[in-house]
Structure formats: structure tokens, C-alpha cells
Amino acid sequence: MDYVSLGFFGLFLITFLSATILPLSSEVFLFLMLSNHYDPWNCLLIATLGNSLGGITNYAIGRLGKLSWMKKIGLKEDKIERYSLKVDRYGVWLAFFSFVPLIGDVLIVALGYFRANFLKVVFLLVLGKFLRYLLIVELYL
């Protein structure tokens, strides 16, 4: 499917899905949208919204998670304990780094699982994602 031809809906969909465990690159897709002359500020807004809602979905998955579920998907107790220590040490500040490939999604799931403050997580998550996309838009312009 040619997501660029879907316009802003395609951008929203790709950025939402890339915030989950699916291996998609929202940054590349944003660049494609910009190179196809879509409005950069609308792209920034929609990419931030889609990716942030995907991150919030990860938080909800973590919040609903049970230890038995985590073990079934392959997380060992020692890994869960390491994330517990990170959440205890850095708290909601980890949410800012939700845009970091490979670990960002897991950090948000962990924050949900360990019941970090939802509003603070959302604020920092959105801020980090916005700044990352703003940098891409500014570099393009």
C-alpha cells in the first residue's frame, strides 16, 4: 500500500503503528511526506499526535499487564526487575525518551506496568516525540 497517497491519514497511521512494537520508521515516512510537498506544520502536528497516541496505547498495555502475561511474551523476571529499578530510579522522566528506537516503546510499557503517573507520562512522552519531529521538519526546511 502506498501510504503517501493516503496523505495525512497515512502519516497518522504509520506514526501510530511505529509507536508500537511494529518495526516501522515514522521519521522516514515524515520525510517522504515533506518531500511530497505536504505542509510541514500539519505533518508535525499529525505525526506527533499519531505517535503519541501509539505511545499512550503502550502505556495502557503495560497498565493492563500482568506478571504472567509478561512472562508469556518472553520477559524474564530479571529483566522485569531491571525495568523496575529504572522506573524507581528515573521515574516518569523515562517517558521523554519514548522516541528512542528499540527501547522507547518498552520504557512506556514499563511505566504503565509499574503505574507511573499517567498525566506526567503523557506530557513527557508528547514533548519528546514533538521535539524529535520538530527537528526533522526543521532539518528538512
What is the pLDDT at residue 86?
80
pLDDT band per the 50, 70, 90 thresholds, residue 11: very high
Q: Does position 42 have pLDDT exceeding 80, yes or no? A: yes
Decide if pLDDT at 81 tops 90. no
Tell me, letter by letter, the H, E, C secondary structure of 39-98. Answer: CHHHHHHHHHHHHHHHHHHHHHHHHHCCHHHHHHCCCCHHHHHHHHHHHHHHHHHHHHHH
Please give the pLDDT value at position 139: 92
Mean pLDDT within 14-35: 88
Domain ranges of the chain: 3-140
User: pTM for this structure?
Assistant: 0.87
pLDDT, average across residues 88-117: 89
